[in-house]
Amino acid sequence: MLIAGNWKMYDGPDPVALREALHDALGEHEHVVAPPFTRLHECVRAGLTTFAQNVHWEPEGAYTGEVSARMLLERGVAGALVGHSERRQYFGETDTTVARRTHAALHAGLRVIACVGETGEERESGDTETVLRIQVEAIRDACGEHERLVLAYEPVWAIGTGKTATPELAGEAHAFVKSLLDVPVLYGGSVKPDNAAELLAQPDIDGALVGGASLDIDSFVAICRAARS
């Protein structure tokens, strides 16, 4: 069971205080935090398993605003998120670029949480499985069942909206994703302390990618305790 916190473009909690709290809350379960680039070093230094929120497919070059896998590894960063729905929605990320980023990061030695998921319109039109198949197969064809690869199913309509997929709905989506690529799959979509236990009890849900609730130590720890139980 893996619990990952995506701090997005927020400063997030104090890394040292968070590490102390997670030590008691998680036991043998694993944590990941994905802070903004300005806090990567601080989180690594505090002993947190630290992922970047994005990574480029080239080792270096004229790519203003991007960071390579090599640069992250040299600074003690363990992995990267790739293809988050906000990257797809606001910054033109495509299935092809997600696959390229994922492949490059894995090849360089990083761990990766690659995100997939449908919009509300796609779900309402009955296209959820089609969308997931296209997204997952792009990653599968580029990377295969890599030991450092984890997927995160994010129903886009549930991110930052307060809406959450029912445990049964989330479980069905996870099972479908795993039928395409047999790697662990996290659930990401307004995960909170009051719904975490029921979601994480689903057999095909292998953890959570937590957004806003990861910015508060108490709420993030509560989700981690739900995973442990």
Q: Is 154 one of the catalytic residues?
A: yes
Q: Is 29 one of the catalytic residues?
A: no
For 29-109, list the strands marked E by DSSP.
Answer: 30-34, 51-52, 79-82
The tokens for 158 are 């549930």
Q: Of 27, 51, 23, which Cα lies nearest the Cα of 229?
A: 27
The tokens for 193 are 């302390």
The tokens for 38 are 């300005």
**135: part of which helix (H) or strand (E)?**
helix 128-143
The residue written with tokens 């997005």 in the block is 8
The span from the CA of 131 to the CA of 116, in Å, is 9
Q: Is-contact 33 5, C-beta < 8 A? A: yes
Catalytic residue among 56, 84, 146, 174: 84
Q: Is-contact 108 59, C-beta < 8 A? A: yes
The tokens for 51 are 């992922």
Catalytic residue among 93, 118, 122, 154: 154
Which active-site residues does the annotation give?
84, 154
